[in-house]
A and B are shown apart, each in its own frame.
Chain A
Amino acid sequence: MSATGADGDATGLGVSDGAVGGHSGASGALMEVEHLRVLFPIKSGLVVDRTIGHVHAVDDVSFTLREGETLGIVGESGCGKTTLIRTLVRLLDPTAGVIRFRGEEITGRSRRQLQPVRRQMQMVFQDPQASLNPRKRVGQILATPLKLRGLAGDRIEAESRALLERVGLHAEHLGRFPHEFSGGQRQRIGVARALAVEPRLILLDEPVSALDVSIQAQVINLLEDLQEELHLSYVFVAHDLSVVRHESDRIAVMYLGKLMEVSPSEELYDKPIHPYTSFLLMAIPIPDPAENRARTRQVVTGEVPSPIDPPAGCRFHTRCPRASDLCREVEPQLTEYARGHLAACHHPQNVSPAEIAAARRSEATPLSAGAETPRLPVSSA
């Protein structure tokens, strides 16, 4: 969330060594995810249950999160975004694929072995009410992670006070219970708890969507300040694309468990390549009456198909006006266009023939995708 431009993230955000101390890889990658799949079995049977199908929650997703970066993940409900980040912190176990955190593989590790790594990534949940133990005082809520960090006695007390002040609350709040706070304040406590173990990465699952508008802005500002002060990396999941765009350096658009498009966040709005992305963008009303009236809007028809039996080929083809036979049969590769802008579409929009010619197949392409290179649709070309 530092004020780097659209294409400055690779150079401008390499704040990893020195102050915070760490041994990030040479690439500056904090987390690498390769071909991650999370399938939930559906069981049924007359006497003994057999697996009769799977919910394809996350289906072959690859990306790299750089140090100090905020990666936004958006998509409609059921697209797998929440499953994805829960798997990243290993609240859920992946079915296949590799997750590396600071160069170390964390998939396949036992919970015990995960402990030291888990401490470096923390999660903040949507509902601050449900994610804080109502019977514990704020001081106790914060003390647990602080003890994990090896602190004891007075140091815990002092550190808890410092944490509360850092998130904009007061030290005298330590003795209170979660229900004595407003929604926004509870979310601040959630953030303080996450910060208590000095994480490198915070995964935010819809952190502001349960809050009132005026409070949303406060929490967003807080998250930005903390990132700057503590050199944190964020993965920010939300259904509200305007909030995600405000927060993120890069945005990944998911649909039915697959990545549709990954782009620097400014460019995603100006130049969406995947038709699904433009539909998402067009659906968002702008809080400006004149601009709303001036905008031509096309509303995507239909709803997200079932993730139990997702469409073959491109998963969006059932709702896509540009869909061709190719889209119905072959899963598109993730193609990398200029400046790290990726899209999985056979008939991309907002790209010139020259850009298509210069594009190359991304390593993040799902294994099941075809080798076809993108082309402009026959009709509209």
Chain B
Amino acid sequence: MARFLIRRGLTMIALLFAISLVTFLLFIVVLPGGNPASMLAGRLANPSEVQLISHRYGFDQPVYVQYFKTMANIFDGSAYSYQSSFNVDDQIRQGLPTTVSLALGAGIIWLLVSILFGTLAAIRAGRYTDRVLTVLSMVGVSMPPFFLGAVIIFYLGYKTSILPINGYVPFTQSPIQWAYHLIAPWFTLSVLFIGFYSRVLRSTILDTLSEDYVRTARAKGLSPRRVLVHHVLRTSLLPIISLWGLDFAQVIGGGAILTESVYGLHGVGYLAAQSVGKLDTVTLLSIVMLTAIAVVVLQALVDFLYAVLDPRIRLA
């Protein structure tokens, strides 16, 4: 156990370092196209002003010094956007509750619904239910959030006023309003994943059903329900759970850009979309680091869960 934690911790740190270095080089050195100092100084600036800005922001220093300074700023919360001169940390902090709310609700919905759909499709494989679910999954996978979002807003928002059109109400302010405002985004984001997840689960369950130990379970005289829940689902859920960990981390790190934008949720994804538009490299770099941390932490949790669910895997 201690060995697992120590090893995992070290790998996580190494991984984060590598990610930060690569993204830094991409964003700061390769991407911006042109000197950030001249962009900051504006079109009418003269060379001496550009030089002054360049010196003030440290753009004239060696790349590795710039890297360590930027990272230090990001991690101690003193990084400022060059474009808006807002504190990046504050901005992310403002967006995070919205994004976490979106991720949690949608994550639970898409996990549970895909388990239901995937299992149903597998045990009814080849029959009517399976075929209907197959078509639904295809529709879900190919339904872009901006389209689905637009449709929902139009019909359930403008036309019928069943759901709010956009906005976010903090949980602390009113849990009911919080959920009410998030129903449509949760649904929109879930549809995307449900289609894919239920397909994956369906095929894993079908594989597991042909395992010898499932035949043994049936030969023991267990009821079909017990065979399914205890002997089939437990092992079949593993691949779904690791997928879920990664996708959930993605959403936390602002991956739901489209959903957040359509519903006007000012979360991390929305911030990311804005920063891309402004080529706000410092903010983008911070968001990428947030995503990286979320992915690495959730991956570790998933591995831990794996080891709990499958005794053959040792924590090492």
Scoring B residues 1 to 19 as 1 if CB is less than 8 Å from chain A, else 0, what string do you get? 0110011001000000000
Residue of A nearest to B7 (CB): A47
A46 to B9, CA, bound (A): 12
Interface size on A, residues (CB 8 A): 3
Which A residues, 47 to 73, have Cβ-Cβ distances below 8 Å to chain B? Answer: 47
Scoring B residues 280 to 316 as 1 if CB is less than 8 Å from chain A, else 0, what string do you get? 0000000000000000000000000000000000001
A48 to B6, CA, bound (A): 11
Which B residues, 187 to 243, have Cβ-Cβ distances below 8 Å to chain A? Answer: none
Residue of A nearest to B2 (CB): A46
A46 to B316, CA, bound (A): 9
A165 to B137, CA, bound (A): 52
A223 to B249, CA, bound (A): 58
A156 to B80, CA, bound (A): 70
A42 to chain B, nearest CB (A): 12
- Inter-chain contacts of B316 with A (CB < 8 A): 44
- Inter-chain contacts of A44 with B (CB < 8 A): 316
A47 to B10, CA, bound (A): 8
- Inter-chain contacts of B3 with A (CB < 8 A): 46
A101 to B186, CA, bound (A): 70
A362 to B10, CA, bound (A): 53
- Inter-chain contacts of B7 with A (CB < 8 A): 46-47
Residue of A nearest to B3 (CB): A46
A44 to B3, CA, bound (A): 10
Residue of B nearest to A44 (CB): B316
- Inter-chain contacts of A47 with B (CB < 8 A): 6-7, 10
A46 to B10, CA, bound (A): 11
A132 to chain B, nearest CB (A): 24
Which B residues, 5 to 60, have Cβ-Cβ distances below 8 Å to chain A? Answer: 6-7, 10
B314 to chain A, nearest CB (A): 10
A47 to B8, CA, bound (A): 10
B315 to chain A, nearest CB (A): 12
B34 to chain A, nearest CB (A): 44
B12 to chain A, nearest CB (A): 13
A256 to B20, CA, bound (A): 50
B93 to chain A, nearest CB (A): 34
A308 to chain B, nearest CB (A): 16
- Inter-chain contacts of B2 with A (CB < 8 A): 46
A44 to B7, CA, bound (A): 12
A219 to B10, CA, bound (A): 54
A73 to B217, CA, bound (A): 39
A44 to B6, CA, bound (A): 13
Sample of 8 A–B contacts (CB below 8 Å): A44-B316, A46-B2, A46-B3, A46-B6, A46-B7, A47-B6, A47-B7, A47-B10
The 8 closest A-B pairs by CB, nearest first: A46-B3, A46-B6, A47-B6, A47-B10, A47-B7, A44-B316, A46-B2, A46-B7
Using a CB–CB cutoff of 8 Å, the interface residues on chain B facing chain A are: 2-3, 6-7, 10, 316
Using a CB–CB cutoff of 8 Å, the interface residues on chain A facing chain B are: 44, 46-47
